[in-house]
Structures are given as C-alpha cells and as structure tokens.
Amino acid sequence: MNNNRFRIYPSILTADLGKLDKQISTAEEYGVDGFHIDVMDGQFVPPITFGPIIISHIRKITKLPIDIHMMVIDPERYFDELIDAGADSITIHYESTPDFDNTINKLTSLNVESSVAINPNTSLTSVQNYLAEINQLLIMSVNPGYGGQKFIPSSINKIESAKSLIDQLNLSTKIQVDGGINSNTISNVFTAGADIVVAGSAIYNEMNDIETSIKTLKDSIIL
C-alpha cells in the first residue's frame, strides 16, 4: 500500500555513511516521504551523532522534508543553526529542558514545523496542553539513543490515546512514531493512528538492499 496517509521517514542512524548520498537518493527514488535525522548530544542520550554540518549536506541531496529529532539538553541553543542548515521540522523532547514552556514557545515562534517527543515512560498527559500549538507529536516506541531496539508493545495504547485526543480536540497535529518499526509492527502502528513512522534499521541494514527493505515495509501495511 502506498498513499500519503501513511508516511515513512527513514532514519539515517544505521545508514552506510561512506555512501550517504546514494543511501539517501536511493530511498527517495523508492518512495519514502522525508528523512529523519537523529541529533544526539552525548548528554540527553549517551551517543553523539549528527549536527548542522551534515544536515546542510543532506539538504543538498534531497528535496524531501528533513525532520530533525533532537535528543539534546537545552535544545533551544541550536534551533537557529538547524533551521539555517535546512530543517523543515524540529522535534524536542519534553524531558530535555527544565523550562519546557519557554523552549516550546521559542520553537513555535520560528519558521519551522514544531514537534514534541515523549519517551516511553512519559505520559501523554504531560504534553496534552501543547498539542494545539505544535505540528507533530513524536511518540517514542523505544528508549531513545540507539537504532535496532525492540518495539515496546504498550506504545500502541499510547498512540491510540493520542489519536483520540487529537481528534476530540479537532486538531491537525500529526502523530509520528519512532523505534522498532519493521514489517511486523508497522501495520499496527498505522492502525492505532500514526501518520508518520520512522524506520531506521528496517531500511538501512546489512541484510537487504534499500529498495527491497522499503518495498517490504510498504507491503506490510495492511489495514
């Protein structure tokens, strides 16, 4: 199945960085809808990954939306740089700043789509008052930091609750789900109400080529 209701954004975390340009252009050619870039600072999560320099490079390779997932303490320090580098959307973690109100106000005042992520142990009620002012809610279905982890089953209930809350409030806030998405989990995640899924190791892995991996994922969407 392939239509715009079900969007797939590859995460380049497990991509072969030696061939990054080709890994991105091939995924674009086979019909993904955007690219999800995991910016990790070594503090909010242990790893350090990508920053604005690589994002500006990716901006030159693809015309698809560039979706930045900040796993960074005090993320507001980098908003301007990330927007200059070509970010179309920026996600910040609810858990990443002591003054969340101030940080989210800063983000929503900028010329970029705004998104808030919640960890598996963070309740939906913590962020429900922000849903009206943001473009996207990112529900983490693994603990952030690493690709290739197992999908946490209770995420399905959280996605369903988020979907009904958003519908009840008559909002257009999108639901993105990140972590453990593969051919076994993708369909349930979309059925529960996700608009966009992030797929890292299901697309960039050593077992299959990118074309086959994308096709397998799409063919697994049976609603």
Q: Catalytic positions, please?
A: 38, 178
C-beta of 104 vs 199, nearer to Zn ion = 199
Q: Does 41 bind Zn ion (CB under 5 A)?
A: no
Residue 201 touches which member of Zn ion, ligand DX5, none, C-beta under 5-8 Å by kind: ligand DX5
Tell me the closest approach of the beta carbon of residue 34 to ligand DX5, in angstroms.
12
Which residues of the shown chain bind ligand DX5 in the complex (CB under 6 A)? Answer: 11, 13, 36, 38, 69, 142, 144-149, 178-181, 198-202
Q: What secondary structure letter does DSSP report for 11?
A: B
User: Residue 100's binding partner, choosing from ligand DX5, Zn ion, none, with beta-carbon cut-off 5 to 8 A by kind?
Assistant: none
Of residues 33 and 178, the one with the C-beta less far from Zn ion: 178
Q: Could you tell me where the beta strands, DSSP code E, fall in the chain?
A: 7-10, 35-40, 66-71, 89-93, 113-118, 136-140, 174-178, 196-199
Cβ atoms of 44 and 103 within 8 Å: the answer is no
Distance, CA of 163 to CA of 157 (rounded, Å):
10
- Spatial contact of 66 and 34, defined as CB atoms under 8 Å apart: yes
Q: What backbone phi and psi angles, to 5 degrees, belong to 40?
A: -120, 140
**Binder of residue 181, out of ligand DX5, Zn ion, none (CB less than 5 to 8 A by kind):** ligand DX5
Q: How many residues bind Zn ion (CB under 5 A)?
A: 3
Nearest 10 degrees: CA dihedral of 139, 49, 27, 182? -40
Q: Which residue is nearest to Zn ion, using beta carbons?
A: 69
In the chain, the amino acid numbered 23 is: Q
178: contact with Zn ion by CB under 5 A: yes
- The one of ligand DX5, Zn ion, none whose footprint includes residue 10, by CB under 5 to 8 A per kind, is none
Contact call for residue 67 and Zn ion (CB under 5 A)? no
